[in-house]
Amino acid sequence: MLSFLAKYDQLFDRLVNPKRVRMVELLILRLALLAFVLHLGFIFLANNVLFFKNFQHSYLKAIYTPFSFILFYEVLLLVIIIPKSISEFIGKQFEVITLITLRSFFHDIADLDFGQALSIQDIHLLSLVYDLIASLLMLAATMLYYKLYKNSKRSDAINDIQQFVAIKKIMSFLMMIILFILSFSSLSSWLQDLFIAMQTNRNYPNPNTVFYGDFFTVMIFIDVFLLIVSFMYHFSFNLIFRNASFIITTILLRMSLTAEKPVNYFLIFVGFAFSILVYYLINNRKSSQT
């Protein structure tokens, strides 16, 4: 078992290194640029060719597409960071859910009719306001969380145990496989729904409920698995409560992906606040004992 973990540890380090990550980053950015141009071209055809008359959209809708590729890269980084630190893993979750919220602005703004006078009671305008306020508050909460993390005087001793790190690398690799499988299957399903929407003049399908919902569901079970395995190397009430709070936060973030506005943002804020408060209390207790 130990030899297997050691070999896999070295294999993971060879496959997931800064040079390869940078190559993937550049590839995704090039795809984002290509998708942006293609989406603009498709909207042009939809707005000017009779064949697409039932599927007309604002050009602002194209902004949503490259941002989706950037968000996918952030999710990939979320998976890669698992072996480094569970605390940083949660922080990266905060970043991802904040970017999902910010991306919603680009999705919703295309539904706004700029040809008419705007009213504060306009549901589309209210949706934009929710997106902006929520993303700003999430940014502040994420920055506060990282500040608490960096100011922590003690690192978790369990993160220094090589066997546990190797196990987390296995989980990270499995999550990468799941990420790409979900990406291709979700993209295929979303394109089918998009084609149906073109034929029946229905609303644009929402990819958040297709991909990110399933992905966050898998992360919940990964969090629970790592929590249980961590008890083999270090067991304390503080560790149990802290990691359990992280799992609760992941569950709340998952619930927010299928909730309506502004309930979804309420769930996110509760999750953020719970993890931040628990992290602060436990680190403050550690500092008082040193």
Instruction: Render pLDDT for 178-197 as a digit per residue (tens, 0 to 9).
Output: 888 888 887 777 677 767 76
pLDDT at 158 over 60: no
pLDDT over 90, % of the chain: 21
pLDDT at 117 over 70: no
Q: How confident is the prediction for the chain on average, in pLDDT?
A: 81
* CA 88 – CA 151 distance, rounded (Å): 13
pTM of the model: 0.83
Instruction: Render pLDDT for 201-236 as a digit per residue (tens, 0 to 9).
Output: 566 555 555 567 788 888 889 888 988 888 887 778
Instruction: Render pLDDT for 244-283 as a digit per residue (tens, 0 to 9).
Output: 898 999 999 989 988 888 899 999 999 999 999 998 888 8
pLDDT at 146: 92
Looking at per-residue pLDDT, the higher value among 51 and 35 belongs to 35
- Residue 149 pLDDT grade (very low, low, confident, very high; cuts 50, 70, 90): confident
**Cα atoms in the Cβ-side hemisphere of radius 13 Å centred on 26:** 5
- Residue 52 pLDDT grade (very low, low, confident, very high; cuts 50, 70, 90): low
* 63-to-37, 105, 139, 154 alpha-carbon distances in Å: 10, 10, 21, 42
Task: Say which range, 52-61, 97-106, 139-148, has the weakest mean pLDDT.
Answer: 52-61
Q: Report the number of distinct structural domains present in the chain.
A: 1
Q: Residue 220's domain spans which residues? A: 2-112+119-289
Q: Kindly calculate the radius of gyration of the chain based on its CA atoms and give it in whole angstroms.
A: 21
* CA 52 – CA 46 distance, rounded (Å): 5
pLDDT at 143: 95
